[in-house]
Structure 1
């Protein structure tokens, strides 16, 4: 596994309002290396959603440092931050967010719209990504013709097509039955084995237990990191 850090958080806090302030994150620090598969697990209200927004550069911290693929987020203008997000982060959400009026291939190719690739290259890379997720034979279908599990595979293909430094998966099995959800988790493991760095946000401790590294969030703090325990045993 590469030792390159693709994500670094150092004493990150996020506070909303002032009367009284709401402390959503309280001094969060951790590092993710290239090629890791990490779950961030915690109950509702623990700070997971706020942390997801920070990791995805959709929100900025009140204090502390966030580095994505070596870039200090605080030093970037909104335009450069959007470019970093498009280049370095792939998103997978439980709602899929697919366009019903375009084909599966076009949905995936849209993940490259802001990367500067031409139409032919976008379509070729989208076709390759669909093969990776087991949907090479569904490229010309529209999302409405697919099952929930297949739609999530399309969303995952769109997230990885740009070969981002990090794939953020927010409750990726939340809208799926248990059998289909298990297949999606297996796919994430396969993509990780192929080199993808994946961070999965979940409230499900059972799903988190299936990942090599687990970060537990409670009251805006990281209260457990399985990697830290592993290091103690070395």
Structure 2
């Protein structure tokens, strides 16, 4: 039986070396249940980019515990960590990162390359994912022939094709006009309604405020969390974030 929690952070800190050292995350703790739709909201320099890297296991915390599907990621070897990332986490970025020489189907199927899935199964599941995002008829098109909104839908299909426990969406509407961005948000809601667990990272308080749960970060700390039916507030500690962090 799968755990109720797909993501758990306990007392997570991230410190970057230097003179003096820089604390990018400070005692961050929260959990995400299976099937939640969550916004992590904060201004530029708040620690969102560092938090995204920690959530996606692209970086490990300096201290504290991160669990994905109940697995403590700090205890994994590099190959085990890569396998976990390939199997359990889907990524959506504001830059689409699609291979222009490949078809839409090939781009989506490539999301399974590192999961050890045979080619025929990769393409079958790519077609299923494209159906979910409403692009089945564009499977053989090249990304250069698609609109920005369609390309983002391809990127979403690629994130979903591995049937991950959690999808991390980093400013997924950042490169889109407002109408197209609204359609992408509607799609994320639809996917969540069918069971996808989605955590969206955004600087847009209005956009994040429209989701069922908002976790707000400032100066590397969680300052409020509307999870579990009530808002939890914390008093931020004055301090710098990682220099040059843009999100």
Unaligned ranges ≥5, structure 2: 233-247
Which position in structure 1 is the counterpart of 2:53?
A: 53
Aligned equivalent of 1:215:
215
For 1:163, the equivalent position in structure 2 comes to 163
1:104 matched to 2:104: yes
SS across alignment from 1:30: strand
Scaled by the length of structure 2, the TM-score of the pair is 0.91
Distance 1:72 1:38 in 2: 21
How many residue pairs align between the two structures? 231
Q: Look up the match of 1:41.
A: 41
Aligned match of 1:190:
190
Deviation digits for residues 52-98 of structure 1 (CA, Å, limit 9, x no counterpart): 00000000100100001111011001110000000000000000000
Q: Deviations over 1:201-224 (max 9, x none)?
A: 000011101110000000000000
1:230, distance to aligned residue in structure 2 (A): 2.2
**Alpha-carbon distance in structure 1 between the residues aligned to 2:50 and 2:141:** 35
What secondary structure sits across from 1:95 in the alignment? coil
Residue 4 of structure 2: aligned partner: 4
- Whether 1:113 aligns to 2:113 is yes
Normalised to the residue count of structure 1, the TM-score between the two structures is: 0.96
Is 1:25 matched with 2:18? no
- Structure 2 SS opposite 1:162: coil
What SS does the corresponding residue of 2:230 show, helix, strand or coil? helix
Contact 2:3 2:70 in 1 (8 A): no
